[in-house]
Amino acid sequence: MKKLLAAFTLAISLVATAEEPAPHTVKAAPFSIKTELSGVLVPTKTQTVLLSPERWKTFPIESVPAHGTEIKAGEPLIVLKTQPIDDNLVEQEAEVKSQELKLAVANRELTELQQKNALALASSKRKMENAEADLAYYESTGLPARKDDIAHSVTQSEDYLKYQKEELTQLLKMYEEDDITEETEEIILVRQKASVRNAEFNLAERKRNAARSLEVTLPRELIGYQEKVENARIAYATAKLNLDRSYELKKLEVAKQERALAKARKALEETQADRKLFDIVAEFDGTLVYGEFKDGVWNKGKTAEFLKKGGSVPTESTVLTLVAKDSPLSVQALVSSEKAEELTKSIAEAGEKAPQVTISSYPNLSGKHLVTLAPAPAEPFQFPGQTEKSELEFYSAEKAITIPSEVLKEREDGTSYVLVKLSEGEPEERTIELGKKDGKVVEVLSGLEEGQVILP
């Protein structure tokens, strides 16, 4: 039992000894803080082919240089068939001209309608005013005059009858005085009696006509004048409403044609702008590359399937990239959020001595941050799209004292210290000033000298 216990104690002692850090001898040596990135070489001077048309949607390919072709400035990057869009432009120009002529006719018709409506309204108003004046005159003058004429006509007939009767009476008296009535006198009496009868008949007829006129004809005439006035007023009111409405309807029609013309003009302008997209030439000497460099990746996509004669260029997508011959190359890498945070912190600590690095604030849809290094002239056998490993140095010292982080201790007041082994006696607490830290190693700016031994 004692042997077993001794062996167990020895095993624990060995494990404890293996886990305890060894003493560290202080020495000065070169010290730097670096990190390595693996990314893709991307060009910084490029011309991309990305079609963003306003209206036109089809861009058929006539010809396209092969991937990797050397292109001179002014040469086409791709040749597109222009016949379809050119024919369409001819049709659109004709449509715009037609719309302009239609609008000119409509505007003239609108002016003519306005003038005719004014005349028609004035004519309707005059008819109403004339009817009102006729009614007023008839009521004030015409109707009383008509009644006076009727009364006078009856009186005239009565007087005529009276005269005829008086004349007959005088003839009878005159002829009765003679003993014998001559034949001529008889004829005169017969005629006078006939005149009396005619006068009586005329008087009766005049009275009947007068009664008819007073009871029927004159009231009907008055109603006729009144109805004429009412109809004229209705016609005028209707004219005011309908003529204005017809003008407003015509204005709406003209406005609709104006909108149609504006729409046709805009379509023409957009198509004319899209026509310019068909002329794609190199802005500088370079190499034509299929696809694009984006977010640290050379994305070729399916360009090989459609970048050929008879194919069609898709819109809103970069399909070709011209890389300038003198283009500097930059390394782009996609890193995790943790790595991006580490790099950002290192750059901040390095200050002015930090390498030129750009880190995207937000990750992409894959959760990666884009890191872009400062561009540099291409070295031999460096080509866009190839993988490149780069070392970033954030701090460098030719001679620095460093210690393992595990021997570092800290007091309650925040000061740092280490245990320095002395030649005799207990180890001494030595306060130290810290510099940069790289993982498990910490730079010591003061408080230690070479050759000293630091205990864990």
CA distance 63 to 80: 7
Tell me the two tokens of residue 427.
């180890």
- How confident is the model at residue 211, as a pLDDT? 93
Single-letter residue type at 364 = N
2.40.50.140, 3.90.79.10, 2.40.50.100, 2.30.30.90: CATH of 45-80+278-326: 2.40.50.100
- HSE toward the beta carbon, residue 293, CA cutoff 13 A: 26
CA distance 15 to 8: 11
Tell me the two tokens of residue 15.
């494990």
CA distance 423 to 429: 14
Backbone angles phi, psi at 24, to 5 degrees: -120, 125
Q: How many CB atoms lie within 10 A of CB 247?
A: 16
- How confident is the model at residue 177, as a pLDDT? 66
CA distance 80 to 443: 64
Q: Which long-range contacts (CB under 8 A, 24 or more apart) does 427-436 make?
A: 427/455, 434/408, 435/400, 436/31, 436/33, 436/349, 436/395
CA distance 371 to 70: 30
Q: How many CB atoms lie within 10 A of CB 331?
A: 23
Q: How many CB atoms lie within 10 A of CB 305?
A: 8
CA distance 82 to 76: 14
- How confident is the model at residue 1, as a pLDDT? 38
Q: How many CB atoms lie within 10 A of CB 280?
A: 19
Handedness of CA 82, 87, 88, 93 (dihedral sign): positive
Contact 394, 353 (CB under 8 A): yes
Contact 263, 354 (CB under 8 A): no
For 239-289, what is the HEC assignment?
Answer: HHHHHHHHHHHHHHHHHHHHHHHHHHHHHHHHHHHHHHCCEEECCCCEEEE
Calculate the alpha carbon distances from 167 to 137, 177, 204, 233, 386 in Å: 42, 16, 20, 57, 148
Pairing of strands 297-299, 292-294: antiparallel
- How confident is the model at residue 423, as a pLDDT? 80
CA distance 264 to 270: 10
Tell me the two tokens of residue 183.
């034949």
Strand partners, 442: 403, 437
CA distance 161 to 167: 10
- How confident is the model at residue 59, as a pLDDT? 96
- State which residues of the chain have pLDDT below 70: 1-21, 177-181, 381
Backbone angles phi, psi at 441, to 5 degrees: -120, 135
Contacts of 180 (CB under 8 A, 6+ apart): none
Q: What is the pLDDT of residues 391-433, one digit of tens each?
A: 888 888 888 899 898 888 888 888 998 899 888 878 888 898 9
Question: Nearest CA to 60 among 256, 320, 310, 249?
Answer: 310
CA distance 408 to 419: 9
Contacts of 356 (CB under 8 A, 6+ apart): 373, 374
Domain positions in the chain are 45-80+278-326, 86-275
Q: What is the CA 443 to chain-centroid distance, rounded?
A: 61
